[in-house]
Chains A and B, each alone.
Chain A
Amino acid sequence: MALFKLTHKFRGQALTEMVLVIPLLTLMLAGVIQLTLLFQARVVFDKACGDVAREYAAGTVNDSNAFSDEFWVRLGPYQKYFIRNSLSVGTQNPKPSLIDTIVQKIDSAGPIAQKLKGFVINYGGKAWTITINYSLPFSPTFILPNGISFQNQVTVLRYPA
């Protein structure tokens, strides 16, 4: 009865409207914040991938384990938004180019040719595939329990290989 009276007054009407709008407004604001954080995390992820690939090009990172560790460090304060256990780093050789076809022919020519090749062509590279899950901050675990998967592939050559 009291509620009925309240809603039939001006003040009551405004309050009812506020009660209806605030959850919607909060939801939308939360969405905006989540979306912002998501893109920010994506940018940090991409930057970290590129930076560690540059470390590889500089010769300071050599294998997948070192890549994973360096990548995790590069995430910096954003580490809390990522699931460490979901991080996987895969490597493969870059797609063969013209020189690879020639190199394969040299390899089949014998060990002396291979040694000579080592003197002349001493650059090489890797294609790194980095995958990690991003967990939505400030959200209940039943919403996307495994988080959102981010993936990036970077390919770089280095000298000396």
Chain B
Amino acid sequence: MTHIHRWSQKPAGQVLLATLLFCFIFITLFIGLFKSGLLFSAKERAIQAANLTALSAGAVYANGMQVVRLSNAIVFAIALGSVALLATGIGSVLEISSLLLGFNPFDVVKAAQNVQKLLFGIDEPSGLYPLLIFTETLSLTSQNGLKNTWPSLAPSTWQTPISVPSPLMLFNVASIGPETLKAVVPNMALKFRDGSFLAVPKIPKLYQMNDQGKIRIYTENQVEPAKNSRGATYWVKAGYVGAHRYVSEIKNAATDKANKIATIFSTLSAMKLDVIDRDAPPLHNIFFYAAYPTTAKDPNGKNAEIQTLSQVMVTGSGLEFWKVSDPPYITTLASTDPIELVKQSGFTSFMQNLLQGGNLQNLQDLFKEAPGGII
């Protein structure tokens, strides 16, 4: 020890020590530069991989929107055919057959709408097409080098406890409402249009009473069927002026006609027409959250992963059957730095809480709070 101490006091020793220190600094700098370079390069690849996979999900989604248009056209053609059958002579034959065999041409429309319901997951948690979007995206995830921890269909590969799988997709989360968890289930944000937009409000009935020369008018809520009727069928409810005095309904031919029309339209409002967007204005988007594995080690000695988030929006002119020849739906990528977004929005903790239940923050609020948020 004393020997080394003495040697380090000599110029040669000092030079060697300085050289060693110098080399140490440079090697550290080199390793740091190499590691950060590798991670920076991995970050770029993670962004590209997530963007391309999200765009692919959007492409399948956009194709689905055109399928919705086509299905609307088919249902409309079937409905038109049914109406035409009933209107022509064949209609009477079908009417007889419907009486004898229980066949109704409009049952075909209902059956077609049931197929739409099953295919697109309308009024259901999910459907066949949304599941197709999910499986196609999952297939692309692995091919783009992103982590895929979803269990295969074979039950032998399933593990407990269930951890948050990667990647995760959130479908139309902004308009899903307070139950954010539902957004994890593939959906296309669609609904059936009913005839409620045709509904005409009924004109309320009015009742009158001659009160010593003054005409008093009462509404439907203020009168009740008379319990001791002497000709008139209604009297004024207790608590109003002239309680239990008889009133007569004000008859008006125009009001009657309007109310009859309103009754017909209220029947129509219960009918399903075509498939439309669930939200107004329409919103179709997918958040794609994935992890990109790297060879670099994190402080715990595990392989570091880069978490990234992409958002695609699917937009078009509408789903009505007459828009079947309109330009196809297009997919647009949100231009936000995904790494920053994940960091700012607390997305990771959101995901960790997702399957644990309780303490689940609303994702919508998280994005709104995030500076440069994309919602």
> B135 at the A/B interface (Cβ < 8 Å)?
yes
A39-B136 CB under 8 A given contacts A49-B48, A53-B52, A157-B59: no
Instruction: Let me know if B33 and A94 touch, CB within 8 A.
Output: no
Instruction: Let me know if B52 and A94 touch, CB within 8 A.
Output: no
Instruction: Let me know if A99 and B56 touch, CB within 8 A.
Output: no
Measured between beta carbons, the chain B residues less than 8 angstroms from A49 are 48
Which of A30-38, A73-81, A131-139 forms part of the interface with chain B? A30-38
Which residues 17-35 of B sit at the A interface, judged by CB distance below 8 A? 19, 22, 26, 29-30, 33-34
> B85 at the A/B interface (Cβ < 8 Å)?
no
One of B45, B55, B58, B136 near A97 (C-beta < 8 A): B136
> B51 at the A/B interface (Cβ < 8 Å)?
yes
> B360 at the A/B interface (Cβ < 8 Å)?
no
A156-B56 CB under 8 A given contacts A98-B135, A122-B66: yes
Measured between beta carbons, the chain A residues less than 8 angstroms from B123 are none
Instruction: Let me know if A46 and B41 touch, CB within 8 A.
Output: yes
Measured between beta carbons, the chain A residues less than 8 angstroms from B44 are 43, 46-47, 50
Measured between beta carbons, the chain A residues less than 8 angstroms from B47 are 50
Instruction: Let me know if B132 and A99 touch, CB within 8 A.
Output: yes
A123-B67 CB under 8 A given contacts A97-B136, A159-B328: no
Measured between beta carbons, the chain B residues less than 8 angstroms from A47 are 44, 48
Measured between beta carbons, the chain B residues less than 8 angstroms from A32 are 29-30, 33
Instruction: Let me know if A159 and B59 touch, CB within 8 A.
Output: yes
A99-B136 CB under 8 A given contacts A35-B34, A155-B52: yes
> B333 at the A/B interface (Cβ < 8 Å)?
yes
Instruction: For chain A, give the interface size range.
Output: 35 or more
A99-B41 CB under 8 A given contacts A35-B33, A120-B70: no
Measured between beta carbons, the chain A residues less than 8 angstroms from B30 are 28, 31-32, 35
> B81 at the A/B interface (Cβ < 8 Å)?
no
Instruction: Let me know if B144 and A154 touch, CB within 8 A.
Output: yes
Instruction: For chain B, give the interface size range.
Output: 35 or more
Measured between beta carbons, the chain A residues less than 8 angstroms from B144 are 154-155
Measured between beta carbons, the chain A residues less than 8 angstroms from B135 are 97-99
> B151 at the A/B interface (Cβ < 8 Å)?
no
Q: Is the contact region of chain B dominated by helix, strand, or loop, or is it mixed?
A: helix
> B60 at the A/B interface (Cβ < 8 Å)?
yes
> B307 at the A/B interface (Cβ < 8 Å)?
no
A10 to chain B, nearest CB (A): 10
Question: Bound complex: CA of A137 vs CA of B309, how far in Å?
Answer: 35
> A13 at the A/B interface (Cβ < 8 Å)?
yes
> B226 at the A/B interface (Cβ < 8 Å)?
no
> B103 at the A/B interface (Cβ < 8 Å)?
no
Measured between beta carbons, the chain A residues less than 8 angstroms from B375 are none
> A119 at the A/B interface (Cβ < 8 Å)?
yes
Instruction: Let me know if B55 and A36 touch, CB within 8 A.
Output: no
Q: Is the contact region of chain A dominated by helix, strand, or loop, or is it mixed?
A: helix
Measured between beta carbons, the chain A residues less than 8 angstroms from B33 are 32, 35-36
Which residues 325-342 of B sit at the A interface, judged by CB distance below 8 A? 328-329, 331, 333
A74 to chain B, nearest CB (A): 12
Instruction: Let me know if B37 and A160 touch, CB within 8 A.
Output: no
A113 to chain B, nearest CB (A): 16
Measured between beta carbons, the chain A residues less than 8 angstroms from B371 are none
> B62 at the A/B interface (Cβ < 8 Å)?
yes
Question: Bound complex: CA of A106 vs CA of B65, how far in Å?
Answer: 21
Measured between beta carbons, the chain B residues less than 8 angstroms from A39 are 37-38, 40-41
B17 to chain A, nearest CB (A): 13
A123-B59 CB under 8 A given contacts A17-B15, A50-B51: yes
A157-B56 CB under 8 A given contacts A32-B29, A32-B33, A38-B37: yes
Question: Bound complex: CA of A127 vs CA of B140, how far in Å?
Answer: 10
B187 to chain A, nearest CB (A): 18
Question: Bound complex: CA of A36 vs CA of B44, how far in Å?
Answer: 15
B296 to chain A, nearest CB (A): 13
Instruction: Let me know if A57 and B55 touch, CB within 8 A.
Output: yes
Measured between beta carbons, the chain B residues less than 8 angstroms from A38 are 37
> B139 at the A/B interface (Cβ < 8 Å)?
yes
Instruction: Let me know if B41 and A54 touch, CB within 8 A.
Output: no
> A95 at the A/B interface (Cβ < 8 Å)?
yes
Which residues 118-163 of B sit at the A interface, judged by CB distance below 8 A? 132, 135-136, 139-140, 142-145
Q: Can you name 23 A-B residue pairings with CB atoms under 8 Å?
A: A31-B30, A39-B37, A42-B37, A43-B44, A47-B44, A47-B48, A50-B47, A54-B55, A57-B55, A95-B139, A95-B142, A98-B132, A98-B135, A99-B135, A120-B67, A122-B63, A122-B66, A125-B56, A127-B143, A153-B143, A155-B52, A155-B144, A157-B56
Instruction: Using A53-B48, A94-B139, A155-B143 as known contacts, list a sample of 12 further A-B pairs with CB atoms less than 8 Å apart, ordered by residue number in A.
Output: A31-B30, A36-B37, A42-B37, A43-B40, A50-B51, A54-B51, A57-B52, A57-B331, A95-B143, A155-B140, A157-B59, A159-B329
Q: What 9 pairs across the A-B complex have the smallest Cβ distances? A: A50-B48, A39-B37, A157-B56, A159-B59, A97-B139, A155-B143, A157-B59, A123-B63, A156-B52
